[in-house]
Structure 1
Amino acid sequence: MKNNKIIAVWGNPNSGKTTLSIKMANELAKNNKSVILVLADSYVPVISTVLPFTETKEQSLGALLSSVQISQENILEKCIPVMKTKNLSVLSYLHSENIRTYADYGKERVLDLFILLKHLADHIIVDCSSMVHHDLLSRGALEMSDQIIRLVTPDLKAISFYDSSLMLLGERKYNVENHIKVLSNVKPVMPKDSISNHFGGIRHELEYCEELQQQALEARLFESLTDKSSSGYNQQFSSLMNEIFSEEVVAEKEEKKARKPFFKRREDV
């Protein structure tokens, strides 16, 4: 696809990476985009907490990465469809798996995976592990992504995390200076102004949303937020999506304008 993108979502622990990744993937799918959501964390596989009643049929991301050969067909076999959602599937480590479950794989395998994925869907959303220095797949996602969303919770632990972790991403290939920085899970009592000043360049804010929290607890994150109290989050989320995919929207509008009718209207003849 001409305008397809790999979007990596990274952030400090408990910053809402999985939640935002699911919401983004779901929104794109609702707009008739084909999407593959990659849940990259092998330390805490989340598939059973976000899709607990879905049969996986041994469709493990770990098995895919450690296989003898990787191909588009292999990837599609391991994709887990999301029920009642068109054009959206998930790649994930499965419940009870860990870093010792499968054989080790190298960087080339990770790069091959993302290259192949980009030919299989309009968009790839990668929910990265916070500890990218320990996770080759998440680190590869930061390197290969067209856009990286960096979530920051407005607290002192986030400062400590990034003061340590960003030093490990000093190479140009990680494009740290161009990450879209987003304050996440913001509550009124939090020192968001102080945190924003510390990091600089915070472009978006996602407020704490009670309905979103309830969805996470009940494994309903693939559903839309419909409560009136969620309107603030929905507006902030839309603003973030508009920035990331604005070029695509413009390209689609120009493409539609370029399509001329085969027959002229009578009044034009």
Structure 2
Amino acid sequence: MTEKSLIAVWGSPNSGKTVTAVKLAQALAARKQNVLLLCCDALCPSVSTIAPQGAAKHSSLGELLSLPALTQEELLRYALPLDVSPQIALLGYKKGDNVFSYPSYDRERAVDLLTLARHLADVVLVDCASYLSVDPISTVALELADSVIRLHSCDLKSLMFFASYLPLLTDARFRRSTPISVLSNVKPEQDGREYSEVFGGIQVTLPHVAALEQQAASARLLDDCSGKEAAAYNTGIRQIIGLLLPQDLNHPSKPVPASSPTSSGKIADVLQRLWPKRRGEDK
């Protein structure tokens, strides 16, 4: 990857946005990319479902957005590094948060957050809220993203959702990138081909995997997933990566030069150094 990327993962409710975002983050981290996973849905806070052990010491994205000013250092202090995936860090709302937990913020604050995030990681993955009207970050992410992964489900609710929302995205400000359309969580009994024709332009199909469903239910999304079903799913994730990084598919990025003050080494190294400062402990 030659430039820092902002990738938005968006789709209908229950289409697998968080699962897809986590698995993409892991795939990118395996390619030596430092990834910041931004979970911005305050209606359904997901950090505790991704990293339950670290969530206890995680401060909410809502608190960060409520600060008088945003800086790179503050963003790093609020990010949660993952022990099992040291090149991935999380930012998101914590358990118990809701849309009324923190003061509202405007589009300018969302732009500031995403701009700072792009300077701190090779890839910023935004796990968007389905309902854009309740989350400015998701809306701004769809505007500014280098790539948008649009997830569709094989059900009538997903069809109705996109029939309502896609007209809202015809404005020129949302045309910076061409969406990658994905048919997600397709079960054997569902007619994925028919739904692909109805949605149109489907580029990747992600099959339903019982093991993934269990991972999500038990807050173990960071575990590896193996087996025949998982192999087909992992192939789909690699296809998405190929669409995101066609020029880099077979050429993993080189490490960032040590002269870069905010990106050198693994993102977790920087985060771990800042944890004591955040907790008020001695350096």
TM-score by length of 1: 0.89
- Residue in 2 aligned with 1:66? 66
2:215 touches 2:221 (CA, 8 Å); kept in 1? Answer: yes
Change in Cα spacing, 1:174 to 1:56, as seen in structure 2 (3 Å) is farther
Amino acid at match of 1:67: L
Which is worse superposed, 8-17 or 228-237?
228-237
Q: Equivalent residues in 2 for 1:47-196 (5 A)?
A: 47-57=47-57, 59-175=59-175, 178-196=178-196
**SS of aligned partner of 1:9:** strand
- Residue in 2 aligned with 1:217? 217
Q: Hey, what's the Cα distance between the residues in 1 that align with 2:58 and 2:209?
A: 34
Q: Hey, what's the Cα distance between the residues in 2 that align with 1:190 and 1:229?
A: 15
- Residue in 2 aligned with 1:229? 229
**SS of aligned partner of 2:131:** coil
1:46 equivalent to 2:46? Answer yes
1:226 Cα deviation from its structure 2 partner: 1.8
2:48 touches 2:55 (CA, 8 Å); kept in 1? Answer: no
Change in Cα spacing, 1:198 to 1:55, as seen in structure 2 (3 Å) is closer
Aligned pairs, how many? 255
Instruction: Kindly indicate whether structure 1 or structure 2 has the higher relative contact order, using CA contacts under 8 Å at least 6 residues apart.
Output: 2
Q: Hey, what's the Cα distance between the residues in 2 that align with 1:214 and 1:48?
A: 16
Which is worse superposed, 110-119 or 167-176?
167-176
Q: Structure 1, unaligned stretches of length 5 or more?
A: 256-269
Which is worse superposed, 156-165 or 229-238?
229-238
1:191 Cα deviation from its structure 2 partner: 2.5
1:188 Cα deviation from its structure 2 partner: 2.1
Amino acid at match of 2:34: S
Q: Hey, what's the Cα distance between the residues in 1 that align with 2:58 and 2:123?
A: 24
Change in Cα spacing, 1:2 to 1:234, as seen in structure 2 (3 Å) is closer
1:154 touches 1:183 (CA, 8 Å); kept in 2? Answer: yes
Is the radius of gyration larger for structure 1 or structure 2? 1
Residues 132-163 of structure 1: per-residue CA shift (max 9 Å, x gap): 12211111111111000000001111111100
1:113 Cα deviation from its structure 2 partner: 0.8
Amino acid at match of 2:141: A
Q: Structure 2, unaligned stretches of length 5 or more?
A: 255-283
Residues 98-139 of structure 1: per-residue CA shift (max 9 Å, x gap): 111111111111111111111100000010001012211111
Aligned Cα RMSD in Å? 2.0
TM-score by length of 2: 0.85
Q: Equivalent residues in 2 for 1:25-40 (5 A)?
A: 25-40=25-40
Q: Equivalent residues in 2 for 1:238-257 (5 A)?
A: 238-249=238-249
